Structure 1
Amino acid sequence: MALKLFIGNLPRNATDTTLSELVTNAGFHVATAVVIRDRMTGDSKGFGFVELADGENLQKAIQSLDGQALEGRPLTVNEARPQRSGFSKPRPGGGGGRGGFNKSRRDW
C-alpha cells in the first residue's frame, strides 16, 4: 500500500523540489513529490502529494508536518485518499444551447 501524504495550503511558488525538500528535512525519505498545477495556467493549485519510501511511518510524518509553516503559510497534512470516481470522467450528454448571434432576436 502506498504511503501518500496530501499537503495543502502551499505557497503559489512551491515546486516539486520544494515539497520533496520539506519532507526530507523533516527526516523522511521521499519516493515522489508532486505539486498539482492548473492545466491552463500552470499555476500551483496550492496542494500536492508526497509518496513516502517503503518503511516510513505515515502517521509520524503527518504529526511532524501538519501545521508546519512554509513561507509563512501553515500546512495542512493528511493521509491522501484515493480520487473519487466520477471526477475525471466526462459527463454524458452535450451542453447544447442556442447561443450566438441571431438577427431575428434583436431587441428594438
Structure 2
Amino acid sequence: MNIFVGNLNFRTTEEQLFDLFAAFGEVTSAKIITDKFSGNSRGFAFVEMPDNEEAQNAINNLNESELDSRTMAVKEALPKENDNRFNKKRY
C-alpha cells in the first residue's frame, strides 16, 4: 500500500520515516518529496508497505500523531489519476 504522510517538519528525514513505519511491518520505501529547484522538503512524503494489513495498522496508529513537533496526517495515498487539482480547466 502506498501511504501519504503530510504535515512533516522540514527537518524530518527519510530514515526517520522508514524507522517509524517499520515498527508496524515491512517498509519497501520512504520518500520525502522535495522542491525540484531548492531541494528542500515540501513537508510531505510517501511510504510504501507491501502488506495492506500492516499498512492500515500503521495508518490507524500514526495518523494525528506527533513527529518532530508536528502532527502528521497519515492516510492511504490516492492514485494520481484521482487527483483533480491538475485536471481543472484554466481560463
- Answer whether TM exceeds 0.5 for this pair: yes
RCO greater where, 1 or 2, for CA within 8 Å and sep 6 or more? 2
Q: Which runs of 5+ in 1 are unaligned?
A: 88-108
Greater per-residue helix proportion: 2
Kindly report the root-mean-square deviation, in angstroms, between the aligned alpha carbons of the 2 structures. 1.8
The equivalent of 1:4 in structure 2 is: 2
Structure 1 residue aligned with 2:64: 67
Structure 1 segments of 4+ aligned residues over 2 angstroms from their partners: 53-59, 84-87
Cα deviation for residue 56 of structure 1 reads: 4.1
Alignment of 1:1-108 (within 5 A): 3-25=1-23, 27-54=24-51, 56-84=53-81, 87=86
Count matched residues. Answer: 84
Structure 2 portions without partners, runs of 5+: 87-91
The alpha-carbon deviation at position 57 of structure 1 amounts to: 3.1
Paired-residue identity, %: 37
